[in-house]
């Protein structure tokens, strides 16, 4: 650049960028710096402590190493099976004569938004040693000797697969739909049979998206806290996430070691995300033709019924049966396997209404999700606009900062904010939750908005400037209206994410800042399955209703 | 002067895109920037609009200095008194036709009654009165182009900037719209920069043409001047179809310059350098006559190819090692031996050092 000064308007833009940068740096670097500090302290936050290497050397202990191996095993199996399941489902729906495509996608969408901790709870009710399945086996069929037990490694993997398949499905269907259909048509025209087309064209072309999905599923699984906490801790199976929680919450607490564990965990997930980004940068972006999908659907023949059955089984297991189990548990006085013999009651629902603590949790959740998501959305929009359009000096650094939370597990961010309590006066207020969630879910906002920003040509803004609108006016009158769909879906995504988050909250909530997810978990831990189920049902209804409302609103645009 | 551009330099990285160009445009004048794709026309236009910041130079619009590298002045685009039509039209999809056109007035906070009358008038000028309440997404390419023009003129800017406004239209619509733009510009009497790579557009629309190549202006002048007396083969080629014939200049002769072909034939050209040595003779395809014309230059060749263009033919005629394009309504068959005639006035000698541009072959 020359020494030319822009005469007007740049000042405001610079100021906004500087503010955006500072807020982002604060949100992202606070937990990381706090963790780094904490990992070298001999005692927990707020206590007198000295510098020590012990936390890092303790990482080599047999217990932690064991946990690391378990976590990697669980995550690898989960990632492979979830990606395979998601890919198969996407292929069935977008490439074959599979029936009920729309309803299947809708059902998978519901599973996608079904919170992991509620799913885990339902599966405890269903598949724990004293759960519904075993009772049904014994009481109704008289089968002894075989018992379901979700309190196990295979239990964790099973629930995680149910939970993560929709993610794999939604990340893979994009590339599959966008794939230039003429590539497959050319293979047909060259004389390839449908199966040969799948083997020689579709799968090879989908290899990079599938690899990308595999890595992301691995990260999701490593990060997963609620599922291993609910079914792993009772079964004495620990993952890094639950280990970190136990180290922090049970005496004697070892928050310093937890910090070291958290940073190591972030190293694993961060490196995986880095690898995933390289994969995407290399070949991940699909060859978009814009023509949409027109390949003749492959006739499955007699396999179709098998495919339908497997898909239905998945939907039953991931959403319908868990929901039914929760509804049943929430409405009965005491547990019996046969619904005909049960006596029903509203008391669990009434107890929610009559418990001031729970009502407070409701209110807190609404404030954090409603208001916090708005703040998160504003910040995400400013970041996405800066990194995609304004590109001032420092925009790359901002981009890197905003991507970091992708690689940091929620519970680790929570722990980071716990450690930051030493020097931040926000502990015990809802702000700590809001900051924590804003940091954790920042990429949701920046990715959603960024994707829309690159969709519309910069010349639309230039035309506004040439028409006399300054940067602020053109942002308000041209950019924001064009971003409206992305802003709506971004807000919705953030709201849902904030609404149901449990991992980040597990370490930093206090009695006055309790949120719904924590309340449900607390009832559950106290063996109050009835109220926990009732609260879960209410939460699910709110989530689904919001989803429907937003879907309706964005359809009207 | 409505637009003054002096010593403009624009670089991307270490690549110099605009290499010190200067020109002035008077009120009411329409000046085309003509040149092949990538020569820097759009960049020049965007510098005038303020959408790019040049590395050096001086730009004034309507007596206001909007850019001066030495004085450190760079006025934002939205403080320049311009109207611009983008190549892609840049119609805002979320606004109606009316609101798209009204935008420059709304930004300037004009009262509603004034917005109403001026938008109505602008829409009438581009023939879109019936479309005022349409969503801008329900418009054809030609209608979008008109909305873009209406939006550019609605606030009566001091200068109008067009970036290849017709390149996304089909051929028929292009000819019609070209005439309308000329009429509109005359009525508004506003200084206009018109970027195009289409020689027919430039020739028919312009008061003056600036022929650009690799970020510099090679020649400027009236359409007649640049077409009739191009300074070099590049300009000749850009402003219209041209044949280039390698010749050796013998020297000045009565009525022009005398040169010889490789085969020994003599050629008399009306203009050109008289220094003896190798050069090119340039003749327009429509100025070559099939058949012998007494008193004119004559060449002998063989027809290699004939294309019917409706009403006339395009012949490709091999003359020695060169091959010439001839537009003629006379009938001849492929393989025929023919004589080509052209008068000295239709032939120009151009120095060879600029000959690396395409010739018809
Ligand atoms: N943003 C940019 N970065 C780098 N090079 C550019 C950029 N914009 C244009 N160029 C280059 O500048 C040259 C001139 O571009 P342009 O002015 O658009 O040409 P024209 O409009 O005459 O076709 C081209 O070689 C183009 O590749
Ligand atoms: Mg251009």
pLDDT given for residue B281 in this prediction: 92
Q: Which of A11-20, A40-49, A454-463, B188-197 has the lowest mean pLDDT?
A: A40-49
pLDDT score, position A128? 86
Residue A309: CA atoms inside 13 Å, Cβ hemisphere, count? 5
CA A299 to chain centre: 35
pLDDT, tens digit (0-9, with 9 covering 90-100), for A356-411 = 889 999 999 999 999 999 999 999 999 999 999 888 888 999 998 998 998 899 99
pLDDT band per the 50, 70, 90 thresholds, residue A6: very low
Using one digit for the tens of pLDDT, what is the confidence trace for A22-45? 999 999 999 999 999 999 988 888
Query: At CB < 8 Å, which residues of chain A contact B?
Result: 1-10, 457, 459-460, 462-470, 473-474, 477-478, 481-482, 484
Confidence of residue A542 (pLDDT cuts 50, 70, 90): confident
Query: Which CATH topology does B3-233 take?
Result: Rossmann fold (3.40.50)
Q: Residue A323 — very low, low, confident or very high, per pLDDT cuts 50/70/90? A: very high
Half-sphere exposure of A334 (CA within 13 A, CB side): 0
| Percent of residues in chain A assigned helix, strand, coil, to nearest 5 | 75, 0, 25
**Is 70 exceeded by the pLDDT of residue B2?**
yes
- Asked which of A276-280, B61-65, B157-161, B230-234 is least confident by mean pLDDT, the reply is A276-280
- What is the distance between the alpha carbons of residues A458 and A475, in angstroms, rounded to a whole number? 12
What's chain A's average pLDDT? 87
**DSSP conformation class of A298:** B
Same fold, B3-233 and B241-351: no
Distance CA A529, CA A167 (A): 28
Write out pLDDT tens, residues B105-114.
Answer: 999 999 999 9
pLDDT band for position A1 (50/70/90)?
very low
**CA A244 to chain CA centroid, nearest Å:** 19
Lowest mean pLDDT among A448-452, B106-110, B252-256: B252-256
Atom of ligand 1 at shortest range from CA of B163: 21
pLDDT in tens, B255-285: 889 999 888 888 999 888 888 889 999 999 9
Quote the minimal CA–CA distance from A488 to chain B in Å.
16
Residues with CB under 5 A from ligand 2 (ion): B 42
CB of B238 within 8 A of CB of B35?
Answer: yes
What the block records as the tokens of A190 is: 């060259």
**Which residue's CA lies nearest to atom 8 of ligand 1?**
B43
Is the domain spanning B241-351 CATH 2.40.50.100? The answer is: yes
CB of B88 within 8 Å of a chain A CB? The answer is yes
> Which of A260, A231, A256, A226 lies closest to A241 in space, CA to CA?
A226
Domain ranges, ordered by start, for chain B: 3-233, 241-351
Burial A94-130 (b: 16+ CB within 10 A, else e): bbbebeeeeebbebbbbbbbbbbbbbbbbbbbbbbee
Give SS3 for A3: coil
Domains and CATH numbers, chain A: 40-334 (1.10.3720.10), 350-557 (1.10.3720.10)
% of residues, chain B, pLDDT over 90:
77
Q: How far is B90 from chain A (nearest CA, A)?
A: 5
Residues 6 or more apart whose CB falls under 8 angstroms from that of B60 comprise: B1, B3, B4, B66
Mean pLDDT of chain B, nearest integer:
91
Q: Which of A212, A205, A214, A194 is nearest to A84 (CA)?
A: A214
Does residue A287 register a pLDDT over 60?
Answer: no
pLDDT at position B236 over 60: yes
- pLDDT of A283 reads 63
Q: What is the CA radius of gyration of chain B?
A: 24
Cα–Cα distance measured from residue A440 to residue A438, given in angstroms and rounded to the nearest whole number:
6
pLDDT digits (tens, 9 = 90+) for A71-122: 999 999 999 999 999 999 999 998 888 999 999 999 998 888 889 999 999 9
Q: pLDDT tens, B213-232?
A: 999 999 999 999 999 889 88
Model confidence at B31, in pLDDT bands (50, 70, 90)?
Answer: very high
pLDDT band at residue A10 under the 50/70/90 scheme: low
Q: What DSSP string runs through A152-200?
A: SHHHHHHHHHHHHHHHHHHHHHHHHHHB-HHHHHHHHHTT--HHHHIII
8 A C-beta contact, residue B243 and residue B340:
no
Q: Which of A256, A267, A230 is nearest to A123 (CA)?
A: A230
Instruction: Give dist(CA B2, CA B30) in Å, integer.
Output: 11
Cβ pair A185, A293 in contact under 8 A: no
For the ranges A464-468, A483-487, B57-61, B118-122, which has the lowest average pLDDT? A483-487
- The Cα diameter of chain B in Å comes to 76
Point out the least confidently predicted range of A175-179, A209-213, B85-89: A175-179
CA-nearest of A294, A355, A317, A328 to A533 is A328
pLDDT at B11: 95
Residues 6+ apart with CB under 8 A from B92: A460, A463, A464, A478, A482, B99, B100, B103, B136
Cβ–Cβ < 8 Å for B44, B31: no
- Contact call for residues A439 and B50 (beta carbons, < 8 A): no
pLDDT score of A295? 59
Q: What is the rounded CA–CA span in Å between residue A162 and residue A82?
A: 8
- Nearest residue CA, atom 5 of ligand 1? B12
Q: Does B107 touch chain A (CB under 8 A)?
A: yes
Inter-chain CB proximity A5 and B72 less than 8 Å: yes
Q: Which chain B residues in 149-188 lie under 8 Å from chain A, judged by CB atoms?
A: 151-152, 155, 161
Q: Which ligand has its closest atom nearest to the C-alpha of B45?
A: 1
Question: What are the percentages of helix, strand and coil residues in chain B, rounded to 5?
Answer: 30, 40, 35
pLDDT-based confidence at residue A229 (cuts at 50, 70, 90): very high
């Amino acid at each position: 650049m020359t020494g030319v000064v822009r005469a007007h308007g740049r000042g405001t833009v610079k100021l906004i960028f500087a503010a955006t940068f500072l807020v982002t740096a604060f949100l992202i670097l606070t937990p990381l710096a706090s963790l780094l500090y904490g990992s070298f302290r001999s005692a927990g936050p707020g206590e007198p402590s000295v510098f020590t290497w012990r936390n890092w050397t303790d990482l080599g202990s047999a217990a932690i190493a064991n946990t690391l191996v378990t976590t990697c095993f669980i995550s690898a199996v989960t990632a492979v099976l979830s990606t395979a399941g998601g890919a198969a489902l996407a292929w069935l729906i977008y490439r074959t004569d599979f029936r009920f495509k729309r309803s299947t996608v809708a059902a998978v969408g519901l599973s996608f938004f079904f919170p992991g901790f509620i799913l885990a709870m339902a599966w405890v009710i269903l598949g724990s040693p004293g759960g519904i399945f075993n009772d049904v086996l014994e009481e109704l069929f008289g089968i002894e000797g075989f018992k379901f037990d979700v309190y196990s490694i295979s239990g964790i993997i099973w629930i995680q697969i149910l939970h993560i398949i929709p993610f794999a499905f939604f990340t893979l269907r994009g590339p599959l739909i966008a794939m230039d259909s003429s590539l497959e048509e050319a293979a047909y025209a060259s004389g390839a049979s449908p199966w040969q087309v799948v083997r020689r064209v579709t799968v090879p072309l989908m290899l990079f998206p599938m690899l990308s999905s595999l890595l992301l599923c691995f990260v999701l699984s490593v990060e997963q806290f609620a599922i291993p906490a609910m079914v792993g801790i009772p079964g004495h199976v620990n993952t890094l996430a639950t280990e970190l929680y136990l180290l922090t919450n049970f005496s004697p607490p070892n928050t310093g070691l937890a910090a070291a564990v958290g940073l190591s965990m972030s190293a694993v997930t961060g490196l995986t995300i880095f690898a995933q980004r390289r994969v995407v940068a290399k070949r991940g972006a699909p060859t978009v033709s814009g023509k949409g999908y027109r390949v003749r659907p492959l006739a499955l023949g007699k396999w179709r019924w098998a495919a339908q059955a497997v898909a239905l089984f998945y939907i039953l297991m991931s959403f319908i049966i868990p929901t039914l189990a929760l509804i049943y548990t929430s409405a009965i006085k005491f547990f019996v396997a046969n619904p005909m013999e049960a006596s029903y009651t509203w008391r669990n629902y009434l107890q929610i209404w009559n418990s001031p603590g729970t009502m407070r949790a409701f209110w807190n959740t609404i404030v954090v999700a409603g208001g916090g998501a708005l703040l998160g959305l504003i910040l995400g929009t400013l970041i996405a606009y800066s990194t995609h359009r304004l590109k001032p000096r420092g925009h790359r650094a901002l981009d890197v900062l905003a991507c970091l939370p992708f690689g940091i597990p929620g519970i680790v961010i929570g722990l980071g904010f716990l450690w930051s309590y030493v020097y931040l006066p926000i502990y015990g207020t809802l702000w700590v939750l809001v900051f924590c969630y804003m940091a954790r879910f920042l990429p949701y906002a920046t990715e959603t908005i960024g994707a829309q920003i690159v969709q519309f040509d910069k010349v639309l803004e230039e035309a506004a400037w040439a028409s006399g609108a300054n940067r602020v006016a053109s942002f308000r009158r041209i950019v924001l209206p064009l971003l409206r769909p992305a802003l709506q879906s971004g807000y919705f995504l953030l709201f849902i994410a904030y609404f149901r988050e449990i991992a980040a909250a597990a370490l930093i909530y206090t009695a006055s800042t309790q949120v719904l997810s924590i309340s449900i978990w607390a009832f559950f831990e106290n063996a109050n399955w009835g109220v926990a189920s009732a609260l879960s049902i209410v939460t699910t209804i709110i989530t689904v209703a919001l989803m429907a409302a937003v879907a309706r609103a964005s359809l009207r645009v | 002067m409505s637009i003054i551009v002096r010593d403009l330099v624009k670089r991307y990285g270490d690549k110099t895109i605009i290499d010190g160009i200067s020109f002035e445009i008077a009120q009411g004048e329409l000046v085309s920037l003509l040149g092949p794709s990538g020569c820097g026309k759009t960049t020049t236009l965007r510098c005038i609009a303020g959408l790019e910041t040049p590395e050096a130079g001086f730009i004034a619009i309507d007596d206001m200095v909007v850019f001066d590298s030495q004085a450190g002045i760079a006025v934002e685009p939205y403080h320049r008194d311009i109207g611009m039509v983008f190549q892609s039209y840049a119609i805002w999809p979320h606004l109606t036709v009316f609101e798209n056109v009204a935008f420059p007035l709304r930004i300037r906070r004009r009262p509603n009654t004034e917005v109403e009358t001026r938008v109505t008038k602008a829409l009438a000028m581009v023939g879109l009165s019936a479309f005022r309440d349409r969503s801008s997404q329900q418009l054809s390419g030609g209608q979008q182009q008109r909305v873009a023009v209406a939006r550019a003129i609605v606030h009566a800017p001091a200068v109008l900037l067009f970036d290849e406004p017709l390149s996304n239209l089909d051929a028929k619509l292009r000819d019609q719209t070209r005439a309308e733009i000329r009429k509109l510009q005359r009525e508004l009497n506003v200084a206009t920069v018109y970027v195009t790579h289409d020689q027919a557009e430039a020739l028919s629309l312009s008061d003056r043409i600036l022929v650009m190549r690799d970020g510099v202006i090679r020649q400027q002048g009236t359409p007649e001047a640049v077409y009739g007396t191009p300074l070099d083969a590049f300009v000749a080629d850009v402003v219209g179809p041209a044949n280039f014939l390698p010749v050796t200049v013998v020297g000045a002769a009565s009525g022009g310059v005398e040169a010889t072909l490789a085969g020994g034939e003599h050629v008399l050209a009306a203009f050109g350098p008289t220094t003896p040595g190798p050069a090119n003779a340039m003749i327009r395809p429509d100025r070559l006559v099939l058949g012998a014309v007494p008193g004119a230059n004559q060449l002998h060749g063989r027809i290699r190819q004939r294309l019917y263009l409706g009403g006339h033919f395009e012949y490709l005629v091999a003359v020695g090692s060169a091959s010439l394009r001839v537009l003629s309504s006379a009938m001849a068959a492929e393989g025929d031996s023919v004589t080509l005639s052209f008068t000295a006035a239709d032939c120009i000698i151009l120095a060879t050092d600029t000959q690396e541009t395409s010739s018809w072959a």
